[in-house]
Amino acid sequence: MTTVTLTLDRLNIATHAEALQLLDGLYEHSPWVAAQALAARPFKSLTDLKYQLALALQNASKEAQLQLIQAHPELAGKAMVSQSLTAESSNEQNKAGLTQCTPQEFAVIQQLNSDYNARFGFPFILAVRGPRGLGLNKQQIIETFSRRLLGHPEFERQECLRNINRIAEIRLNDKFGYEPVLGHLVWDWQEELSAFSDPGYAEKGQLTVTYLTEAHRACAQFIVQHMHDCGFDEVRIDAVGNVVGRYLAATPTAKTLMTGSHYDTVRNGGKYDGRLGIFSPMACVRELHRQQKRLPFHFEVVAFAEEEGQRYKATFLGSGALIGDFKPEWLDQQDADGIKMRDAMAHAGLAIEDIPNLQRNPADYLGFVEVHIEQGPVLNELDMPLGIVTSINGSVRMQCEIIGTASHAGTTPMNRRADAAVALAELALYVEQRALKDGDSVATIGMLQVPNGSVNVVPGRCLFSLDMRAPNNAQRDALVADILSELKRICERRGVQYKTEETMRAAAAPSAPAWQARWEAAVNALGAPLYRMTSGAGHDAMKLHEVMPQAMLFVRGQNSGISHNPLESSTSDDMQLAVDAFMHLLTHLESN
Ligand SMILES: [Zn+2]
């Protein structure tokens, strides 16, 4: 194998034949992928090259895609044993320790290989060097294998292709001698931070960090320490437990740009939700400090103490406090163990009387930006590393009830029933159709229950929830109105009653055009594909939106973007792009 590192210039000016030779070995026995991608020369960046390769694969016929999948060796399979792997595959399987399997591990993997092949008709493909490029361990490989064996065939075909692209990405990095150094750093910080987890979860290897627990306070200390190490000028923990780091401008009178995200997690959550939006800007400050560079504005990075509303029903407590929306009645809430928030705060040494002083004066601020893992499958499916958020969806939540008549399941003829559950079933199908019609609305019945139901009783009552979201308030309101009038129609026709109670209403938070444009300029500067999307989930940016302009940048998640789940994942390559985009935004702000 050649050890001369490849450069983009060299690739861009090479003849087609030479270029093909330079990209040899990226896609297993399938040079046609690189051949297709070369039509998009000149590549703007390594990121662009990676995307063009993925596009070539996306645009290929299903037969060609399957042939490529078939060209891959089985994991720890016959080719490995007979040492007939390509040099690249051999190196990867070696890094994952697959060449040193115990006989038991080997037997498990062989069984998985044959079950997978029998089910899908192609070999299982996994980028065994993993999201950080260091190599997954055998346990992780076996777990992923077992899980994917249960997948839908169409999904599995796509997931194999995505893994093939990831394998190619790492092979390309090797060819270019490229290391996503800051991406690795951010990835490693998240890994280290995930060592702190609440009791009951930590023992099981699960990540749970809820407001002001010991693990939560250890997280705050970790962030404080690393902010100091990065070169922030001021670092403090505020009265609600937010960690606030400031990297000061050259001139004291300058305005401030705020960024940040949350470090609390849901129960048994992922390592990147929230935390990526704290560590990405920290990596930027580390670089700025290292280069002895000052920005023309103060840069404030806030690690919000609470966003998820897990220990107390006080969602967005951390960011809420900065806009004067800390509700004093929260202090008397009790957690599951009867500990009042007030006491938890005192125990943590927080000065409750200072909370009102946390409110920022919007006149001092340029705006708020936030990086967040997408928490959805969109970017992963599109093979795009970054997404521009155009709006955070507005939402309405309701608790509802349908009241029919409970009666004997054996003696009540079908045409004389007042079945509350069947009425709900009809509504559920309508909810799905109605939200789908908008394209970008979502609506969910996440809880449904027949209280005191019985196998031989026609359901007399049905309790259910509604969660309805859309990118703007008008679209959301139309969605809600249509669903409620359908509920009314269904209940009238079926002769049942209903009740609804609105439990939450949040306004949509459209991105400020100027800030969205800055993220777009940054993504363009990286040569990465530009994709605009709404955020289905709520974020801290929603709170800051109430007082200042905001815009968010999404980062692709692996495993089809699953989140609020331990399978949440993202690569250090994508994290590097988030840092690079952030750096671009920071250093080009003065010229705007
Ligand atoms: Zn989050």
What are the residue boundaries of the structural domains of the chain, listed by start? 8-176, 189-390+528-587, 394-507
pLDDT at 1 (0 to 100): 47
User: With 70 as the cut, is the pLDDT of residue 592 above it?
Assistant: no
pLDDT at 81 (0 to 100): 72
Distance, in Å, from the CA atom of 370 to the CA atom of 392, rounded to the nearest integer, reads 12
Task: Report the SS3 class of residue 134.
Answer: coil
CA of 528 from ligand 1 middle (Å) equals: 24
What contacts 134, CB < 8 A, 6 or more positions away?
95
CA of 47 from ligand 1 middle (Å) equals: 26
| Whole-number percent of the chain with pLDDT over 90 | 87
User: With 70 as the cut, is the pLDDT of residue 590 above it?
Assistant: no
Distance, in Å, from the CA atom of 360 to the CA atom of 501, rounded to the nearest integer, reads 34
What residues are labeled active site? 72
- The mean-pLDDT minimum among 78-82, 227-231, 309-313, 404-408 falls in 78-82
Domain 8-176 identical in fold to domain 394-507: no
Q: What element of type H or E holds 387?
A: strand 386-392
Distance, in Å, from the CA atom of 424 to the CA atom of 526, rounded to the nearest integer, reads 49
CATH class as words, domain 189-390+528-587: alpha beta
| Mean pLDDT in residue range 475-504 | 97
Q: Could you confirm whether domain 394-507 is CATH 3.30.70.360?
A: yes
CA of 518 from ligand 1 middle (Å) equals: 22
Distance, in Å, from the CA atom of 549 to the CA atom of 589, rounded to the nearest integer, reads 15
CA of 479 from ligand 1 middle (Å) equals: 25
Q: What angle do CA 270, 274, 280 make, to 5 degrees?
A: 110
- b/e for 488-505, b at 16 or more Cβ within 10 A? eebbeebebebebeeeee
Distance, in Å, from the CA atom of 544 to the CA atom of 541, rounded to the nearest integer, reads 5
CATH, range 8-176: 1.10.3330.10
Structural contact between residues 522 and 585, judged by C-beta atoms closer than 8 angstroms: yes
pTM: 0.91
Which backbone phi and psi does 174 adopt, to 5 degrees?
-65, -45
Written as six digits, the tokens of 323 are 């806009």
pLDDT tens, 423-451?
999 999 999 999 999 999 999 999 999 99
Question: How many beta carbons lie within 10 A of that of residue 592, not counting itself?
Answer: 11
Reported as a pLDDT band with limits 50, 70 and 90, residue 2 is: very low
